[in-house]
Amino acid sequence: MEIFRTSVTLLSLCLFHSSLSETQSPCKDLPPVQHVEPNSSVTVPCPVFSASEMVFKLYKGLEAIFSISINQTFRSQINKNPKIDFSANFKFNDTDNSTSFILEAVTMNTTGLYTCEAEKIFPPPFQIVVHKPQTIVLVEGRQVKPHPVCQDVDHLVFWVMFGIMTIYGVVMSLIVAIQWHKLSQIDTPFKDRECRRKWQGVQHPTWQGFYIDTVV
């Protein structure tokens, strides 16, 4: 049951990501998947810090859940969406200027597709960073071994298609059987004549010879 729920979750996230990126294949350019347990933490990467002052926003699906404004002295303040039931910290690495959100005390409801966006505030002009890292967070009730996402999606799609084709075949067989039964119950004059000819056989004409009356 848990494998089926995981496959359905991954498939829905794949399709959601496909609709956002306008790709044809749901597994094309799929974001990395983070498998975590409840009450643990998970890291969601963000764009590189590349200005004197920037604003970073974290989205779950299409909903903004966290935002933070930091300047060159790394003074920051996190604003949280009150609907979210978990906390987050912002991490900055001064070695390579990489940044990330760390989701803490995650729950089963934390599962989703996360996107981190950044905006350059200073120096002018205001600019939105093109790079928007995405991460799929999958919170599971027990520790599992990471496995290829597309393989699970392919298996799920295969079984769904197999079920649809099986149902279609059964329905079409029933329809053909019903139509055949109805046609077999219909009596037509042509059918009656053919049946009588079959059982009566070929009727040969009676031989009539010449009769000579010799009586005077």
pLDDT class for 22, splitting at 50, 70, 90? very low
**Poorest-confidence range of 105-109, 115-119, 176-180?**
176-180
Indicate whether 156 belongs to any domain: yes
Same domain membership, residue 23 and residue 38 = no
Indicate whether 199 belongs to any domain: no
Q: Is the pLDDT of residue 158 over 50?
A: yes
Average pLDDT, the chain: 76
pLDDT class for 3, splitting at 50, 70, 90? very low
pLDDT class for 177, splitting at 50, 70, 90? confident
Same domain membership, residue 107 and residue 155 = no
Using an 8 Å Cβ cutoff, are 53 and 72 in contact? yes
> Which CATH number goes with the domain that contains 72?
2.60.40.10
Same domain membership, residue 109 and residue 53 = yes
Same domain membership, residue 129 and residue 38 = yes
Same domain membership, residue 37 and residue 75 = yes
Instruction: Give residues with Cβ within 8 angstroms of 25, minimum separation 6.
Output: 18
Same domain membership, residue 118 and residue 174 = no
Choosing from 144, 166, 196, the residue where a domain stops is 144
pLDDT value for 173: 84
Same domain membership, residue 126 and residue 43 = yes
Question: What average pLDDT does this structure show over 97-118?
Answer: 94
Question: What average pLDDT does this structure show over 166-194?
Answer: 73
Domain around 158? 1-28+148-186
Choosing from 144, 176, 197, the residue where a domain stops is 144
pLDDT value for 32: 92
Domain count, the chain: 2
Strands 33-36, 134-139: pairing kind? parallel
Question: What average pLDDT does this structure show over 138-146?
Answer: 69
Same domain membership, residue 163 and residue 61 = no
Same domain membership, residue 54 and residue 119 = yes
Question: What average pLDDT does this structure show over 53-75?
Answer: 90
Indicate whether 200 belongs to any domain: no
pLDDT value for 205: 57
Percentage of the chain exceeding pLDDT 70: 63
Question: What average pLDDT does this structure show over 64-77?
Answer: 84
Same domain membership, residue 67 and residue 140 = yes
Say which residue the tokens 């075949």 belong to. 169
pLDDT class for 194, splitting at 50, 70, 90? low
Percentage of the chain exceeding pLDDT 90: 37
Q: Which two tokens stand for residue 145?
A: 């071994």
pLDDT value for 176: 84
H-helix or E-strand containing 154?
helix 149-184
Question: What average pLDDT does this structure show over 40-68?
Answer: 94
Q: Is 43 exposed, middle or buried (0-12, 13-18, 19+ CB in 10 A)?
A: middle
Indicate whether 17 belongs to any domain: yes
How far, in Å, are 7, 162, 170 from residue 178 at the CA level?
39, 25, 12
For residues 145 and 152, give the distance between their C-alpha atoms in angstroms, rounded to a whole number: 13
How far, in Å, are 91, 107, 180, 191 from residue 185 at the CA level?
80, 64, 9, 12
Same domain membership, residue 161 and residue 136 = no
Same domain membership, residue 139 and residue 38 = yes
Question: What average pLDDT does this structure show over 82-87?
Answer: 83
For residues 22 and 199, give the distance between their C-alpha atoms in angstroms, rounded to a whole number: 71
Choosing from 123, 144, 165, the residue where a domain stops is 144
pLDDT value for 71: 86
Indicate whether 123 belongs to any domain: yes
